[in-house]
């Protein structure tokens, strides 16, 4: 199923989610709804709410107020982490627009992020389900730990692939895992189905971030939502750069170490690094790893006989879409393995 078919199938549901997203960040303090509108009007595919909507329907649950509210929970938490990350990284552009910290300042960005988390907790408290609250608490802890893990190793190149994947899971995949899990929990599905959905969300989320990491070096800024090379210039060591470093000779290793420490590197250094990556196929390595995680995600879906099995195609279609977001600039970067 194509991504546009999926969004068309769930268009009515997503419209309802948008309405409730806006309703629930209203405040008599104008700054909150003002920045809230700015964030929510800034684009985004609502991937996490869509995962929850499809997962709940896959388990036989029709759209309800509770489903919509929990879609808002995951989207608010996601938006809050972006606001806080932009402050930490001093990011100025996201989804083609000024970040909140650039436009209103870091204090406002942090406070609005906190406000969105508070609104998420309020929505959870309106419909208390111990299993859901426990799942949310677990994922929220993992998510924050991901930020701490990344921060504690900022601008360090001597890390492992396992470290990079751990950051990817905690910072990105954990909330996607939660989105799928909540769909199952809201439908009161059995543990095997919940586990299958969690496995899909986790592996999907890891692949999603790995594709983003590739696009930071070889991608469309419009699809990426920020200028190409942003992570590299901010000193983030993602898998493509780590792979290059591990394959480099001593001279190139030294250059990479200097780039990571330098907060003023530009396009010239980025172009140089991308050329070196092409020589050792660092981007291809990361892409193939992403495809392997997507394959695991699809396998998880087929491990359980869901009440509405025809909706597996929707989740599989989203998985295919995240690969399609990457438009390779070189023929060598086209898929070499199936998904």
Distance CA 188, CA 198 (A): 14
For 50-72, write each residue's pLDDT tens digit.
999 999 999 999 999 999 999 99
pLDDT of residue 337: 45
Which two structure tokens, joined as six digits, stand for 38? 């700015």
CA distance 44 to 31: 22
Distance of CA 184 to CAs 63, 164, 196, 269, Å? 13, 29, 9, 46
Q: Which domains does the chain have, with CATH numbers?
A: 3-333 (1.10.600.10)
Report whether 217 contacts 273 (CB < 8 A).
yes
**What is residue 325's three-state secondary structure?**
coil
Give me the pLDDT at residue 227, please: 82
Q: Is the dihedral of CA 149, 151, 152, 158 positive or negative?
A: positive
- Find out whether 91 and 101 touch, Cβ atoms under 8 Å: yes
Helix (H) or strand (E) holding 307: none
Whole-number Cα distances in Å, 49 to 42, 68, 338: 16, 8, 27
Which pLDDT does position 222 carry in this prediction? 75
Q: What is the CA radius of gyration of the chain?
A: 20
CA distance linking residue 39 with residue 270, whole number of Å: 29
Contact by Cβ (8 Å): 119, 26: no
Tokens of 112: 């609005």
pLDDT of 43 reads 75
Spans of the chain below 70 pLDDT: 330-339
């Amino acid at each position: 199923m194509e991504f546009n078919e999926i969004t068309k199938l769930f268009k009515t549901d997503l419209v309802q989610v948008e309405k409730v997203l806006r309703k629930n960040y209203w405040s008599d303090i104008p700054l909150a709804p003002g920045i809230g509108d700015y964030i929510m009007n800034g684009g985004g595919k609502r991937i996490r709410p869509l995962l929850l909507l499809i997962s709940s329907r896959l388990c036989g649950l029709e759209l309800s107020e509770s489903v919509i509210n929990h879609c808002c929970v995951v989207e608010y938490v996601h938006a809050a982490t972006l606001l806080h990350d932009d402050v930490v990284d001093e990011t100025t552009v996201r989804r083609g627009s000024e970040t909140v910290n650039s436009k209103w300042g870091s204090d406002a960005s942090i406070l609005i992020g906190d406000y969105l988390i508070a609104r998420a907790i309020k929505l959870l408290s309106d419909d208390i389900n111990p299993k859901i609250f426990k799942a949310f608490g677990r994922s929220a802890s993992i998510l924050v730990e991901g930020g701490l893990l990344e921060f504690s190793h900022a601008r360090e190149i001597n890390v492992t692939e396992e470290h990079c994947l751990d950051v990817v899971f905690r910072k990105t995949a954990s909330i996607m895992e939660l989105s799928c899990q909540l769909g199952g929990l809201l439908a009161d599905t059995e543990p095997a189905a919940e586990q299958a959905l969690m496995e899909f969300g986790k592996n999907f989320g890891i692949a999603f971030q790995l594709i983003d990491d590739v696009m930071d070096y070889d991608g469309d800024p419009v699809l990426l939502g920020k200028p190409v090379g942003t992570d590299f210039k901010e000193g983030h060591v993602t898998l493509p750069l780590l792979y290059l470093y591990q394959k480099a000779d001593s001279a190139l290793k030294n250059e990479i170490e200097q780039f990571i420490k330098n907060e003023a590197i530009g396009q010239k250094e980025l172009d140089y690094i991308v050329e070196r990556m092409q020589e050792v196929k660092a981007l291809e390595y990361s892409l193939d790893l992403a495809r392997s995680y997507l394959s695991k995600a699809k396998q998880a879906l087929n491990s359980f006989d869901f009440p509405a099995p025809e909706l597996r195609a929707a989740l599989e279609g989203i998985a295919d879409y995240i690969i399609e977001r990457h438009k390779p600039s070189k023929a060598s970067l086209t898929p070499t393995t199936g998904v």
